[in-house]
Amino acid sequence: MTRMTLLALLLLSPSAGAASLTVFAAASLTDAFTEIGRAFDARTGHRTTFQFAGSQVLRAQLESGARADVFASANDAQFTPLLGRVVTSREVFARNRLTVIAPAGSAKVRSLRDLTGPGVRLVLAAPSVPVGEYTRRMLAAVDRSGTYGKDFAARALRNVVSEEGNVRQVALKVGLGEADAAVVYASDVTPTLKKTVRVVPLPTRFNQTAAYPLGVVRGSVSADAARAFVAFVKGREGQAILRRWGFLSP
């Protein structure tokens, strides 16, 4: 191969002017964002890497100076406090709903009411985790309605055997059959998880809507690429991928 062809290859390859992009994203976005990242990289030639974790963990890391270009959170509680100081923009790009899951092979939990059954092992996310916050709001809504008795939330919370650090850990506990029930996002019931879990009906009037904000991190060394990523997520292709993984439009 001659030097000329090598040069031509270099110029034609998409890595010309490519940036390395680091995206901090909520654990529930793991599958959707991984696919979005691949599509975005193929389109732009950038190289996107992700760190998926509970939004509260990512927020703590960003606050203590972690380097990232984009932050996507699963709720506002872990995002708005950063606005202005750590993150320069805020756009809601997706919504999500809660769902109750139980192991496919177990009949212990068939309805929401069963969450308070004796000996039911319920796994939730910790209150600082976005899905943990939405879950407690959902339980409070059930309480207010009085449908299942006044102290439904308190009785359900007494059945909690573990408080996990992100929603995927919560889903895993049911997937493995260790827990009798858990509350996760509708989008967490991925084709993989569907093989081992069963969805328990959650009345719409109790359900909560999660709103996902994302923004460019202040001091990003590739701010242009970061803005392009945000636009891609909000664009037709990004939205289509999110929809495919069970998210709702913003």
Partner 1 sequence: MRRAGLPWAGVLLGGLFAAFLLLPTLVLLSRGLGADFWGTLRSPAVLDALRVSLWTTGMTLLVTVVTGTPLAYLLARREFPGRALLDALLDLPVVLPPVVAGLGLLLTFGRGGLLVPGLELAGVSLAFSPAAVVLAQLFTAAPFYLRAAKAGFAAVDRDAEAAALTDGAGRWAAFRFITWPLAFPFLLEGLVLTWARALGEFGATILFAGSLQGRTRTVTLAIYGALDSELGPALVLSAVMVVVAFSVLLAVRMLAARRDRLDG
Q: Is 41 in the site for partner 1 (CB under 8 A)?
A: no
Q: Is 162 in the site for partner 1 (CB under 8 A)?
A: yes
- Cβ-based burial of 248 (10 A; exposed 0-12, middle 13-18, buried ≥19): middle
List binders of partner 1 among 82-101 (CB under 8 A): none
Instruction: Identify each DSSP E strand in 104-206 by its residue range.
Output: 122-125, 160-164, 181-185, 197-200
Report the candidate in 176, 164, 168, 174 with the shortest Cα–Cα distance to residue 120.
174
**Dihedral angle computed from the Cα positions of residues 41, 44, 46 and 50, in that order, rounded to the nearest 10 degrees:** -40
- Vertex 75 angle, CA 72 and 77, to 5°: 110
Stretch that binds partner 1, among 137-145, 173-181, 205-213, 239-247 (CB under 8 A): 173-181
Q: Is 183 in the site for partner 1 (CB under 8 A)?
A: no
* Choice from 98, 112, 179, 197 touching partner 1 (CB under 8 A): 179
* Choice from 165, 207, 218, 248 touching partner 1 (CB under 8 A): 165
User: Which pair of structure tokens corresponds to residue 154?
Assistant: 């308190």
212 is in an annotated binding site: no
Instruction: List, as residue ranges, the binding site for molybdate.
Output: 28, 55, 167, 185
Instruction: List, as residue ranges, the binding site.
Output: 28, 55, 167, 185
Q: Which stretches of the chain bind partner 1, using CB under 8 A?
A: 54, 56-57, 60, 121, 123, 126, 128-129, 160-165, 173, 176-179
